[in-house]
Amino acid sequence: MKRGKIYLLGTGPGSPDLRTLRTVEALKESDVVVTYRTYAQLIGDLLGGKEVVTADMKEELFRARIAIEKAQEGKVVSLVSSGDPQVYGMASPTMEMMCRRGVDLDVEVVPGVTAATAAAAKLGAPLAMDFAAVSLSDLLTPREEILRKVDRAAEADFELVFYNPISHSLLKEAMQVVSKYRVPSTPVGLVRGVYRPEEKVILTTLGEWQSHLNEVNMVTTLIVGNSRTYVCNGRMITPRGYDRRYRF
């Protein structure tokens, strides 16, 4: 029996234009595609003639198990995340499950465009310097741990990217933490459904962001500037430091 393989890949934010060539090649090579139902719709044009296994949210371990079992049968499997498979995606739980079960398969991680850089591109250039990405989903991580990370990153003046703002109450707490270290005029960008038909881009401030809370859901990414981030020509800009040494 031939040796199976697992591709751990990310489709990017959703638009076919932002799929990598390697992602498309991997999907074409695959016998089986395992993914979340919504992601299957985003790559439906590449699934013809393939065995497709879909699952709901909170069924990540089911997806990992199915992908491993199919690969053990000698099949080439694509386990599909959105964005990048390493950034809050399926790469870690799949490799962890293989390790714990003593399974050794051919695995290739295929990088993709993650929500942080996709949303930043729509806002201007907010991530030009050091930044921290924090998931605001408390399904697997205690709220206290999340807020502690936000506090440390905000204190260190990192630009902040908030993924998975499922809980509005936790998001409000996180932004209150940030407010201890940033002035109310600090630029904040909200990008909902980036590079998808329902995309919405909002540029606001730390003092006013809550007026747009109704736009925040699971596919919204928030970017909070650091102490030097500003807005010009309708774009968020975080200086890299050239202005400290050179004259523009």
| Domains parsed from the chain with CATH numbers | 5-113 (3.40.1010.10), 116-237 (3.30.950.10)
pLDDT tens digits, one per residue of 29-67: 999 999 999 899 999 999 999 999 999 878 999 999 999
Where residue 244 falls among pLDDT bands split at 50, 70, 90?
Answer: confident
Average pLDDT of the chain is 95
pLDDT tens digits, one per residue of 151-184: 999 999 999 999 999 999 999 999 999 999 999 9
- pLDDT at res. 1: 58
Beta strands in the chain (DSSP E): 5-10, 32-36, 51-55, 76-81, 106-110, 124-125, 131-135, 159-163, 187-192, 200-205, 220-224, 230-232, 235-237
Where residue 243 falls among pLDDT bands split at 50, 70, 90?
Answer: confident
- pLDDT at res. 14: 86
- pLDDT at res. 2: 67
Whole-model pTM?
A: 0.93
